[in-house]
Chain A
Amino acid sequence: MSTVEASSQRLSSNVSAPSGSALRAALVSEWTKLRSVRSTVWALLLTSAFTIGLSALFCWAFVNRDERRRDGSLRDLFLFDPTARSLRGVVLAQLAIGVLGVLVMSSEYTTGMIRTSMAAVPSRRVLLAAKTIVLTTVSLVVGMVSAFVAFFLGQAILDGKGLGTSLGEPSVLRAVLGAGLYLTLIPMFGLALGTIVRRTPGAIATLFGVVLILPLLADAFPEPWDVRLGRLSPLNAGQAFFSVRYDPDLLTPTEGLLVFLGWVVAAYIVAIVMLTKRDA
């Protein structure tokens, strides 16, 4: 076709090889990838909607509960953790943002894009690092903003019955930050799983299994192992650092954070080994 001949001069226009760092170029590229597909926007919107909307709903339901039908209402109030109540949506939001993490890698394998990506960025560590940094930055912003909005909205609702708390109370700020951090780390875990499993359905099933089913499996062990193992699951470890009230079944906040980081680091080690050893 004539297009080829007509554009001959343009094709040969010298595109000189740039000198910048490969990681920096890959970061810009991964940001374009993330923002140019619709699933990203949906996953982030759902994350915020679940964190804020569901938390508000839980608070509203607690404020409007029928006290006459609950004998334990006093005990309820005694154990009531207004911070945790206003962050309950995180349990569902983690699935949305975790799926986003999975998709960042698995969608490349499922569509075949990975071969094009790896031909453009031959260092697989650089590729994984760029994806991780971009995903984590976006998750940190969305996770933190959602957690704080959910907290303030929830407290505003609870304040209607004088049940709310504030960031100035002991451990409250830590818990809200913890919830935002949890929503930042879960997608990293998802990204690592997506790298290991490669296919989207399998990787999502693995993520849900580890996050939701592992704590249930722990119950199958005889006491005291059910509790000892159960609290090591990612969700329970996470809950240890985003709840305020002391729960003897959970780890301390610091332990919880360390255990959760342990899960992420372990998944990353496996992911890096598999990514560099396997054929694309």
Chain B
Amino acid sequence: MIELRELTKRYGDTLAVDALTVDITPGCVTGFLGPNGAGKTTTMRMILGLDAPTKGTALINGKPYAQHKFPLHEVGALLDAKALHGGRKAFDHLLCLAQSNGIGRKRVKTVLELVGLADVANKRAGTFSLGMGQRLGIAGALLGDPGILMFDEPVNGLDPEGIVWIRTLLRWLASEGRTVFVSSHLMTEMAMTADRLIVVGRGKLIADATVEDFVARGERWFEVRSSRPTELAGALGKAGASVEERGESSRVRGLTSTEIGDIALAAGIAIYGLTEQRASLEDVFFELTGDSVEYHGMLGMPARVTS
């Protein structure tokens, strides 16, 4: 269990993390979602005691991180796959971490096998690909068999096989009753992995809900193609619908498909297509974080991804 209370980090004039209060509970994968620069990494660094909060607290199983004598038994974290000395062999890298927390050599071998790096244990970590580095970082996180696991953008830069591997690992760690906290700036990725989503923008908590809730939150509409779109728009408008003409088809909100069909028939307009659409998770995400994206592109980004 990770408890954040009013957690705040200020760098000069910028509030990187703004009074974040949230509990990250065991037994599920909690996605930590937000655009780049939303304060996700800073939050994770404060949880690990690497950065000191300007205000507020982050508790791990009821205690600040620094008060755990051998913290690798409580929390396993992978913040940056490159956070290691490239000149050290993979085995030695894990061994020095293990020893600092009273963990033996046998366990080092076990986690190396677990992440599939046993064959390259005696290679220098600097020669590893990004995917292998990520696996080595995860091996380090698993060393102390911790109840809490925390990963910062674990799928960044991975090939499809690596992405599936991480997804499976996260789901499975949560199914064992562990607390799994994963950050990402990709809604689609999180939708596939997480049970619960914590969305932040500009350091502030924007939403905290289950993935189902997020899906339900998205708006629905009908995509209608007809012989005389403008006329149909008028008729539907009179019936209380909002209609958005978009070239060949129109987006109709506020009526059921039956009502749209009946109105078209009464007006003598042929319907060529009538399909129900739903906003993607990405759309919901952009809607939530749109105002908080720090750097917009020239074309009014973030662009809406339409389905």
Contact = CB atoms under 8 A, between A and B. Distances in A.
- Are these two chains actual partners, yes or no? yes
Interface of A: 1, 3-5, 7-8, 10-15, 17-18, 20, 22, 25-26, 28-30, 32-33, 36-39, 107-108, 111-123, 279-280
A5 to B, nearest CB: 7
5 tightest CB-CB pairs across the interface, nearest first?
A18-B102, A29-B100, A36-B92, A112-B83, A280-B50
Contacts of A12: 145, 176
Nearest to B115: A3
19 contacts: A1-B116, A11-B145, A12-B145, A13-B145, A15-B145, A17-B144, A18-B101, A22-B70, A28-B99, A29-B100, A32-B99, A33-B88, A37-B87, A115-B79, A115-B83, A119-B71, A122-B49, A122-B68, A280-B51
Nearest to B111: A11
Interface of B: 45, 48-52, 65-73, 75, 77, 79-80, 82-89, 92-93, 95-97, 99-103, 107, 110, 113-116, 140, 142-145, 161, 164-165, 168-169, 172, 176
Contacts of B169: 4
Contacts of B176: 11-12
A5 B172 contact: yes
Contacts of A22: 69-70
A32 B48 CA distance: 23
A10 B145 contact: no
A131 to B, nearest CB: 12
A120 B100 contact: yes
A20 B96 contact: no
B113 A122 contact: no
Contacts of B172: 4-5, 8
A17 B145 CA distance: 10
B165 A1 contact: yes
B138 to A, nearest CB: 10
Nearest to B96: A32
Contact of B73 (A7, A8, A10, A17): A17
A186 B95 CA distance: 29
Contact of B102 (A3, A20, A36): A20
A118 B49 contact: yes
Given A37-B87, A119-B48, A122-B49, A14 B145 contact: yes
Contact of B113 (A5, A10, A15): A10
Given A15-B145, A123-B66, A29 B168 contact: no
B96 A36 contact: yes
Contacts of B100: 25-26, 28-29, 117, 120-121
Contact of A36 (B88, B110, B144): B88
A159 B264 CA distance: 116
Contacts of A15: 73, 103, 107, 143-145
Nearest to B162: A1
A7 to B, nearest CB: 5
A1 B88 contact: no
A15 B45 CA distance: 25
A280 B100 CA distance: 18
Nearest to A20: B102
A121 B144 CA distance: 13
Contacts of B97: 29, 116, 120
A20 B161 CA distance: 41
Contacts of A111: 82-86
A273 to B, nearest CB: 14
Contacts of B101: 18, 25, 120
Given A39-B87, A116-B84, 11 more contacts: A12-B176, A15-B143, A22-B69, A29-B100, A33-B85, A36-B96, A37-B87, A112-B80, A115-B83, A116-B97, A122-B68
B115 A33 contact: no
B168 A1 contact: yes
A154 B140 CA distance: 50
A102 to B, nearest CB: 15
A120 B110 contact: no
A108 to B, nearest CB: 7
A276 to B, nearest CB: 10
A38 to B, nearest CB: 6
Contacts of A113: 83-85
B85 A118 contact: no
Contacts of B83: 111-116
B110 A116 contact: no
B39 to A, nearest CB: 14
